[in-house]
Structure 1
Amino acid sequence: MVTSPNTVHFRHNQAILAAAIIAFFGALPVAGARWYLLPVLLVPLAVALWAWRAGTDADAHELRLRALVGQRRISWERVVELAADPRGRAVARLDDGRQVTLPAVRGTDLPRLVSATGQPLPDAAG
């Protein structure tokens, strides 16, 4: 995937990745004790991969919501409103009435997200 230089990337805190790596090494003695406990190692590996990959990418054309596996693309034409929910997470309300939570984007990140569209921010005084 080629991203433009104007693409804004939002990712989860990288401390999650560090914790997953520590959990992997902590699970090695458990997984090594019995062969049927080897799948225990998959949990920290999945968390590490999710922490590295999941998030939101935004450019002038679309939003890309990335998960552990796959991604969802939403064009800006479908977005009616960007807002913060009561928990401080950013959400996009779509033209069909659905509400989509934007992974790794907080309500305080909304100005940076809007700047990725190339549109000017509304004047707070007006």
Structure 2
Amino acid sequence: MSKHGTVRFRHNQAILVAAIVAFVGALPLASARVYLLPVLLVPLAVAVWAWRAGTDVDARELRVRALVGQRRIGWDRVLELVTDTRGRAVARLDDGHDVVLPAVRGADLPRVVAATGQPLPDAPADASDQ
């Protein structure tokens, strides 16, 4: 698949910086005793998640990426894109499931739709404009 025309949504990179700082801060603790070495895995996992997790959108599909693995969802399976009560973007699928799109906010939905190549519907006029 060509990377041209793909819109990528990722979490704020400050999370990655915080994970690196936590890793460096955990080094003295982890080096004190051998059984404390797994403490280093927590900031390492957060760093990998911050670097990898997110949503990729192109004209063919949505790709939801997590710490491990990814899920590809064709646009033919998506019934609608909505926001939940927390302001996150959600894709409602034809099988009745909802998929939260990582790193995509409700305000980003016009960019998601534009990446599909479909025209955006005109916004309805406010009642106060009439």
- So what's the TM-score if we normalise by structure 1? 0.97
Measure the CA separation in 2 of the matches of 1:71 and 1:99: 16
Q: Which amino acid aligns with 1:23?
A: A
Q: Deviations over 1:67-126 (max 9, x none)?
A: 001000000000000011010000000011111100110000000010110000000036
1:1-126 pair list within 5 angstroms? 2-125=1-124
Could you tell me how far 1:42 is from its partner in structure 2? 0.5
C-alpha distance in 2, partners of 1:51/1:3?
A: 24
Runs (4+) off by over 2 Å:
none
**Alpha-carbon distance, 1:23 to partner:** 0.1
TM-score of the superposed pair, with normalisation by structure 2: 0.94
* Distance of 2:70 and 2:82 partners within structure 1: 21
For this pair of structures, how many residues does the alignment match?
Answer: 125
Q: Which runs of 5+ in 1 are unaligned?
A: none
Return the alpha-carbon distance in structure 2 between the equivalents of residues 83 and 3 of structure 1: 27
Structure 2: tracts of 5 or more residues without a match: 126-130
